[in-house]
Amino acid sequence: MVKIYTGNHVDHIGVSDIIELIRGAGKKAGIDIETCSQLSKGVFILIDEFSSVYELRKLIKQKKNKSLKYILVSTEFETNQFCGRSFNQFENLGLFRSIIIKILGRILFWTPKPLRGIPILRRVIAFGAALFFNPIFWLSTDAHSNETRNLVSNLKRQIYMKARRRGYEIFKNFVDLRFKTHPLIDNCEYAETLLPALENFERHHRNNIKVSGTETSHRIKACNEFRERLKNKSMNFNFDYDGVIQFDITNEKEAFDFAYQPAQSMNWLKSNPVKIWRDLYFYRALPIIDQKFDDHPIEKIGILKEDFFNQTIDFKLISQQIDDYRKISKSENTKIFNKIKTLENLCSPNT
């Protein structure tokens, strides 16, 4: 049986969408996929989190000892500029900051996950942040608190992505199959793209809008502008935003009409198919996006922000686009799951 291995993730919240996406696509292809935290025998799907060298070595060792088959799911954009190999690094951080991130990323890679929460490591990261953000980092006034929190959060994410990419490059050498969640994740021609599977879509009429994504300074600015435009145009929508963006875990799936999806940063010039699928799948909410990049078939379903405010939305066309996308995703995903079935047959005791 094919299973999604989650033992390499400390917190499953961050990968719950990817797990649901894979299982949903697999179900439509006739494969029931379970999750597990232990490696026994068979075929295992691993989502790209290999930021600890100790876990990485363990995974490689078990693959050899137990003759396991590994499938790698690539979910982050490979970048190799500015500060070297990392994920999602689309802006120039400067030479000094890049060097510090590289050093701290290496330290994190060699730090066991159980030790990462200890105060000493947090102080190292805080000290690194202080080097960049002094004197803002040391100010504790309300005017600077949100800015400081976002700056430190960005630094920690950049350090983590640096360590994660380091392990990812090693692990790629030991996989039997790869697929990715976006065509532009990398330049690998043989890694096919898994397209999120959609059910029949029915609109709700609740006049409400949610915010999609984790909090960043760019998203806060975008949401403030979005809220102001709603007010200036006297549009009768309840915008579920109060100046703070809380990541929703989807335990309670409230329905929304729309979901505003600002990019993580102004330099993020790619679509976010997982986010578009997430809001359609869990909340029955049509995604509102700032711009389109024509780099993924599900992006066509998204509504441009200007079209939303101008009220030039063609819901009949959107319905047709959803139907067209469902056919495309079924066809493309069949290719991937046929390869997975082949791997599964190789592990069968009867073959």
pLDDT in tens, 50-62: 999 999 999 999 9
Under the banding of pLDDT at 50, 70 and 90, the label for residue 330 is very high
pLDDT in tens, 169-185: 999 999 999 999 999 99
In the numeric block, which tokens belong to residue 302? 């998204």
Domain ranges of the chain: 2-78+168-196+330-347, 89-166, 208-326
Under the banding of pLDDT at 50, 70 and 90, the label for residue 215 is confident
The rounded distance, in Å, linking the Cα atoms of 86 and 92 is 12
Residue at token pair 């996950």: 113
β-bridge partners, 179: 73, 192
The rounded distance, in Å, linking the Cα atoms of 340 and 93 is 40
CA angle 72, 75, 78 (to 5 degrees): 100
How far apart, in Å, are the Cα atoms of 162 and each of 44, 104, 157, 214, 240? 25, 9, 9, 19, 34
Residue at token pair 């947090």: 122
Task: Identify the CATH assignment for 2-78+168-196+330-347 out of 3.30.70, 2.60.220, 3.40.50, 2.170.120.
Answer: 3.40.50
Q: Which of 79, 8, 11 is nearest to 47 (CA)?
A: 8
Under the banding of pLDDT at 50, 70 and 90, the label for residue 273 is very high
pLDDT in tens, 290-313: 999 999 999 999 999 999 999 999
pTM over cut 0.85: yes
CB neighbour list of residue 49: distance below 8 Å, 6 or more residues apart:
8, 9, 15, 164
Q: Give me the pLDDT at residue 336, please.
A: 96
pLDDT in tens, 331-349: 999 999 999 999 998 887 6
| pLDDT higher than 50, residue 192 | yes
Under the banding of pLDDT at 50, 70 and 90, the label for residue 246 is confident
pLDDT in tens, 19-46: 999 999 999 999 999 999 999 999 999 9
What does DSSP assign to residue 90?
-
pLDDT in tens, 80-116: 987 789 999 998 888 888 888 899 899 999 998 888 7
What does DSSP assign to residue 180?
E
Mean pLDDT of 220-248: 92
pLDDT in tens, 131-145: 555 555 555 555 456
| pLDDT higher than 60, residue 49 | yes
